[in-house]
């Protein structure tokens, strides 16, 4: 869980937030989107933006934006709005992007290999340090300069390198045991691409990515729009 210990430097655009509030999951899921838009604005040499302007860009109401930022102390200033670089950096700190999280991928099949080739991980503060697979024919190959290791080396590697995050792109039947092994050896965050639901300690963060569910949701929306 994110610890809300951030202090409002500029003063809130509307009202001062309460740092003790529990941050809703839906707000946490919007933070990466804020970060992306603010990063784009910074690259365009935009230094100041109001909640109304950010609202138009993101299709999120200005009121919602202010409420979201209030959970972390605010960041705005009456009559000024938000300093783009400052706000981007604060959201990066909230998301832990400045902590230098290390991660591994377990499963070097098509999906795992595609993720390993996704170079923007490093740009977001996540360093890929290892790739693992149980298939002997894949072991020893390299993806972006990282040699694929056998899963038998997983526990030792995770302990030695103090891995923060593991991306699981393995069959559902293998996910439970692999997740337990990873958590036992210090991994605190899992990105699970399988259909298996994981029952893990409360201090372990888990994100489930169900691509088929997203496609079915998309299918529903298409059907509704055609009515």
Residues 83-128 have pLDDT tens digits of: 999 999 999 999 988 778 899 999 999 999 999 998 678 878 889 9
Q: Is 50 exceeded by the pLDDT of residue 19? A: no
Q: Is 80 exceeded by the pLDDT of residue 208? A: yes
Residues 38-59 have pLDDT tens digits of: 999 999 999 999 999 999 999 9
Q: Tell me what the mean pLDDT of segment 180-191 comes to.
A: 96
Helix, strand or coil, per DSSP, at residue 73:
coil
* pLDDT attached to residue 20: 53
**CB-neighbour burial class of residue 205 (10 A; exposed 0-12, middle 13-18, buried 19+):** middle
* pLDDT attached to residue 44: 95
100-213 placed in CATH 3.40.50.720: yes
| Separation between Cα atoms, residue 214 and residue 53, nearest integer Å | 29
pTM (two decimals) = 0.77
* pLDDT attached to residue 119: 66
Please, which pLDDT band fits residue 21 given cuts at 50, 70 and 90? low
Q: Is 70 exceeded by the pLDDT of residue 13? A: no
Q: 25-95 has which CATH code?
A: 1.10.10.10
Q: Is 80 exceeded by the pLDDT of residue 3? A: no
What residue spans define the domains of the chain? 25-95, 100-213
**Tokens encoding 79:** 């009559």
* pLDDT attached to residue 75: 83
Please, which pLDDT band fits residue 22 given cuts at 50, 70 and 90? confident
* pLDDT attached to residue 9: 33
Residues 131-176 have pLDDT tens digits of: 999 999 999 999 999 999 999 999 999 999 999 999 999 999 999 9
Please, which pLDDT band fits residue 223 given cuts at 50, 70 and 90? confident
| Separation between Cα atoms, residue 177 and residue 205, nearest integer Å | 17
Q: Tell me what the mean pLDDT of segment 16-25 comes to.
A: 64
């Amino acid at each position: 869980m994110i610890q809300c210990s951030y202090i409002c430097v500029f003063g809130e655009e509307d009202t001062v937030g309460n740092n003790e509030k529990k941050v809703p999951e839906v707000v946490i899921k919007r933070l990466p989107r804020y970060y992306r838009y603010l990063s784009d604005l910074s690259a365009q040499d935009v230094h100041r933006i109001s909640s109304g302007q950010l609202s138009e860009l993101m299709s999120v109401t200005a009121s919602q934006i202010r409420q979201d930022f209030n959970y972390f102390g605010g960041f705005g200033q009456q009559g000024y709005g938000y300093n783009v670089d400052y706000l981007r950096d604060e959201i990066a700190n909230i998301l832990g992007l400045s902590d230098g999280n290390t991660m591994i991928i377990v499963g070097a099949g098509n999906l795992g290999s595609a993720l390993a080739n996704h170079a923007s991980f490093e740009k977001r503060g996540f360093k890929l340090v290892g790739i693992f697979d149980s298939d002997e024919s894949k072991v020893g190959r390299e993806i972006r300069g990282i040699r694929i290791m056998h899963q038998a080396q997983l526990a030792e590697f995770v302990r030695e390198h103090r891995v923060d995050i593991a991306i699981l792109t393995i069959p559902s039947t293998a996910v439970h045991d692999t997740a337990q092994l990873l958590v036992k050896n210090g991994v605190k965050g899992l990105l699970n691409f399988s259909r298996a639901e994981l029952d893990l300690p409360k201090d372990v963060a888990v994100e489930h990515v169900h691509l088929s569910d997203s496609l079915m949701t998309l299918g529903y929306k298409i059907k509704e729009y055609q009515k």
